[in-house]
Amino acid sequence: MTQKSVAEIAPGEAAQAFLSQSPHKLFVGGEWINASTGEHFATHDPATGDVIGQIAKGAAEDVDRAVLAARTAFDTGPWNATSPMERSAILHRIADLIEANIDELAELETLDQGKALYVGRWAEIPGAAAQFRYFAGLAPAIEGASIPTSITYQPEGKEIFAYTRKEAVGVVGAIVPWNSPLVLTAMKLAPALAAGCTIVLKPAEDTSLTAIRLVELIAEAGLPKGVINLVTGLGSAAGARLAAHPQVDKIAFTGSTSTGKAIVEASQGNLKRVTLELGGKSPVIIMPDADLSTAIPGAANAIFFNGGQVCIAGSRLYVHSSLYDQVVAGIVEIAQSIKLGHGLAPDTQMGPLVSPQHAAKVASYVQSALDDGGTVHCGGKVSGPNASFVEPTVITDLPGNAAAACEEIFGPVLVIQSFETTDQVVAAANDSEFGLAAGIWSEGLSNATRLANRLAAGTVWINSHAMYDASLPIGGTKQSGYGRDSGQAALENYLELKTVCAVV
């Protein structure tokens, strides 16, 4: 990474036109408005530290206005009463608009978050559009059931007619993190809209730009006023108010485990529904029969993709002792070849981390690994004009209970350990407070499938990692949270089951 590569970067015209709209506003009841305090905060290009926009600093009062708009739109507005096919058509229009603006959205995501452009352009932004398309398909398929009963005490000559309905849960507060902002937002908004809910969206303070642009596109797609509302601002103010608000029916949260716990506490006032997509420390296992020509690059990609700022990052690698030296050498070689640079530079493979503060936190874990007796084979250093780049890092020889081996680092830091037996690796992989995802590399599908069944994880990939699809449920066990995004399971998060039992 050189300073020159950072200085040469400029986004395209559409992204520049969007950036020139700064200061960016809140979206409440169909209007773009300033925060009630009139305050803003700066958002930065993490590669350079340059200010790239001013974001409205929504406060509790703004959340109250947004919730009122969403509440009114749900209770009296047309959205929930709109036919499923009409909702489906609008969701398809949102997907069309995302696809039509894909380059702009990918550039904004890179500028705001730092990620290499290809991550947004080819994975996350198409993934966001796919969420709206998938749930557009499910909107007309929401159905209850008619249920035969064994009730014997109905009046003579009468019958029981019992059925269930699936009804929109109501006003949803969607709170999302900074690592993959647009696609994680789409994972909440698409099923919520398909179900007929109304929404108040609170993006992460470090990465609000694509949420603002997405809400512009959603408004353009023709949603009625008040169905989608956007309050940018700090988690401790806007986020906390949303989580505690008595008129919010459900919080759909993605973020850290500690914030997830705060949200559960805040939600208790009205016992709102909560789903939590939280942190992870996901194990990847290379079995003795793995094909190393795919397992080594696959395990490297599992941790280094998006700078390791991925909830399901394969940050603990367990390698069978017979392959250990070869795998360590192979992954170190890949780590050292990864080209760091500004995310918009065409040859960049890994951008900066989201902020210099986060880079310093990641680097502190590498120092802790050294203090705990670990061997750092490569990387670990912070660099760049804004001290935000962290070189891909490979660590071995750490005890399993060292901080770097068991806490979520959320950066490009891989800890490798060896194992002898399947029982041993199952015990080690499951010895974690997290249970989000896991990966297995093995040419023996039967053994790999049986191993997958023994791993405590919401998702297990075999001979791959991070294969996402809008149809595949993703979410955690243990302290990685509860509830699922994506797939039919996600739609259920936004629906309440009503039973109607009639004597007819």
- Pick one of 76, 83, 149, 236: the residue that binds ligand NAD (CB under 6 A): 236
Q: Give the 3-state secondary structure of residue 415.
A: strand
Q: Is 26 in the site for ligand NAD (CB under 6 A)?
A: no
Q: Which is nearer to ligand NAD, 259 or 393 (CB)?
A: 259
Q: Is 277 in the site for ligand NAD (CB under 6 A)?
A: yes
Closest C-alpha to 254, from 302, 200, 203, 193: 203
Cβ-contact 457, 417 below 8 angstroms: no
Q: Is 278 in the site for ligand NAD (CB under 6 A)?
A: yes
Distance of CA 380 to the CA centre of its chain: 25
Q: Is 477 in the site for ligand NAD (CB under 6 A)?
A: no
Cβ-contact 254, 277 below 8 angstroms: yes
Q: Which stretch binds ligand NAD (CB under 6 A): 30-38, 90-98, 176-184, 283-291?
A: 176-184
| 406 in catalytic set | no
Q: Is 214 in the site for ligand NAD (CB under 6 A)?
A: no
Q: Which stretch binds ligand NAD (CB under 6 A): 94-102, 162-170, 217-225, 474-482?
A: 474-482
What are the residue ranges of helices labelled H in 338-420? 356-371, 403-406
Q: Which is nearer to ligand NAD, 40 or 92 (CB)?
A: 40
Q: Which stretch binds ligand NAD (CB under 6 A): 276-284, 390-398, 421-429, 446-454?
A: 276-284
Cβ-contact 335, 393 below 8 angstroms: yes
Quote the CA–CA distance of 189 and 195 in Å, as a whole number: 10
Catalytic, out of 104, 107, 124, 311: 311
| Tokens encoding 37 | 């305090």
Cβ-contact 408, 442 below 8 angstroms: no
Q: Which residues pair with 474 in a beta bridge?
A: 485
The helix (run of H) or strand (run of E) holding residue 162 is strand 160-168
Q: Which stretch binds ligand NAD (CB under 6 A): 59-67, 278-286, 368-376, 389-397?
A: 278-286
- Pick one of 304, 410, 468, 482: the residue that binds ligand NAD (CB under 6 A): 410
- Pick one of 80, 179, 306, 388: the residue that binds ligand NAD (CB under 6 A): 179
Q: Is 177 in the site for ligand NAD (CB under 6 A)?
A: yes
Q: Give the 3-state secondary structure of residue 146.
A: strand
Q: Is 190 in the site for ligand NAD (CB under 6 A)?
A: no
Is the bond into 392 cis (omega within 30 degrees of 0)? Answer: no
Q: Which is nearer to ligand NAD, 328 or 404 (CB)?
A: 404
Q: Which is nearer to ligand NAD, 311 or 359 (CB)?
A: 311
Q: Is 230 in the site for ligand NAD (CB under 6 A)?
A: no
Q: Which is nearer to ligand NAD, 178 or 494 (CB)?
A: 178
Quote the CA–CA distance of 287 and 486 in Å, as a whole number: 29
Q: Give the 3-state secondary structure of residue 2.
A: coil
Q: How many CA atoms lie within 13 A of 381 on its CB side?
A: 8
| 501 in catalytic set | no
Termini Cα distance of the chain? 75
Location of structure tokens 């000559």: 157
- Pick one of 6, 91, 204, 416: the residue that binds ligand NAD (CB under 6 A): 204
Catalytic, out of 104, 124, 277, 492: 277
Residues lying near ligand NAD in the complex (CB under 6 A) are found at 175-179, 184, 202, 204-205, 235-236, 239-240, 243, 254-256, 259, 262-263, 277-280, 311, 408, 410, 436, 476, 480-481
> Which residues are identified as catalytic?
277, 311
